[in-house]
Chains A and B, each alone.
Chain A
């Protein structure tokens, strides 16, 4: 465990907590894409299949449980909570995210490290996570104005994968045989998808103006 990895996990945890905090306190999910949340729940469900079979560390197991519980509870909140669900704008959140699931699954069948169920599901979760933010970014473009918590959520979510990239670079130079092209490339694609959001987020922070994404 290196500092980049720990910082990445803490940033990822913060993004989930910011989102849960927003939904739980102001009882609203305005500006949040349910589809991205559903994709993330699927990412964790397919990635943490080894939760009960491979024990790595208490930290590892604890974080997996937190991510699983939080992602599914966010989906539950937006879908079923009597107050929160009213603020979900399904007319705007129209990204056909099922079109992301199938290509990721097919790609995982073709490009993977080992052709086993667990490995393919793990690889599928990597590819899916790389594109899971798309419905949220499309929604932000549509609704244009971004409230602070949503902006922070997306920023932290993008930042965590950038920190993971630093972690992979660090591990590549410090651990022999540490080569995971699939993880690295999908992580890079994921971070690049956030690039333009980061640019506008930084601009709004530097000029101290409200975050506006161009149409």
Chain B
């Protein structure tokens, strides 16, 4: 299952 991509941008 695809993990929710972490918000790595500003």
Instruction: Say yes or no: A60 contacts B10, CB within 8 Å.
Output: yes
CB interface residues, B 1-10, toward A, < 8 Å: 2, 4-10
Nearest chain A CB to B4 CB, angstrom units:
7
A56 and B8 form a contact (CB under 8 A): yes
Measured between beta carbons, the chain A residues less than 8 angstroms from B2 are 177
**Complex: how many Å from CA A46 to CA B10?**
12
Q: What's the minimum C-beta distance from B7 to chain A, rounded to whole angstroms?
A: 7
Interface residue? A54 (CB, 8 A): yes
**Tally of contacts, chain A with chain B, CB under 8 A:** 25
Binary contact track A52-96/B, C-beta < 8 Å → 1, others 0: 001011001001100100000000000000000000000000000
**Cβ of A5 to closest chain B Cβ, rounded Å:** 7
* B7 touching A122, Cβ below 8 Å: yes
- In angstroms, Cα B6 to Cα A102, docked, is 26
Q: How far is the CA of A113 from the CA of B6 in the complex (A)?
A: 12
The answer to whether B9 and A54 touch across the interface, beta carbons within 8 angstroms, is: no
Alpha-carbon distance between A164 and B9 when the two chains are bound, in angstroms: 9
Asked whether A114 is an interface residue with its Cβ less than 8 Å from the other chain, the reply is yes
CA A126 – CA B9 in complex, angstroms?
A: 12
19 contacts between A and B (CB under 8 A): A5-B9, A9-B10, A12-B10, A54-B6, A56-B6, A56-B7, A57-B8, A60-B8, A60-B10, A63-B10, A64-B10, A113-B4, A122-B7, A164-B9, A167-B9, A177-B2, A177-B5, A178-B5, A180-B5
Q: A5-B9, A164-B9, A180-B5 are in contact. List 16 more A-B contacts (CB 8 A).
A: A9-B10, A12-B10, A50-B7, A54-B6, A54-B7, A56-B6, A56-B8, A57-B8, A63-B10, A64-B10, A67-B10, A113-B4, A122-B7, A167-B9, A177-B2, A183-B9
Those 5 A-B pairs whose CB atoms lie nearest each other, nearest first: A56-B8, A63-B10, A9-B10, A54-B6, A56-B6
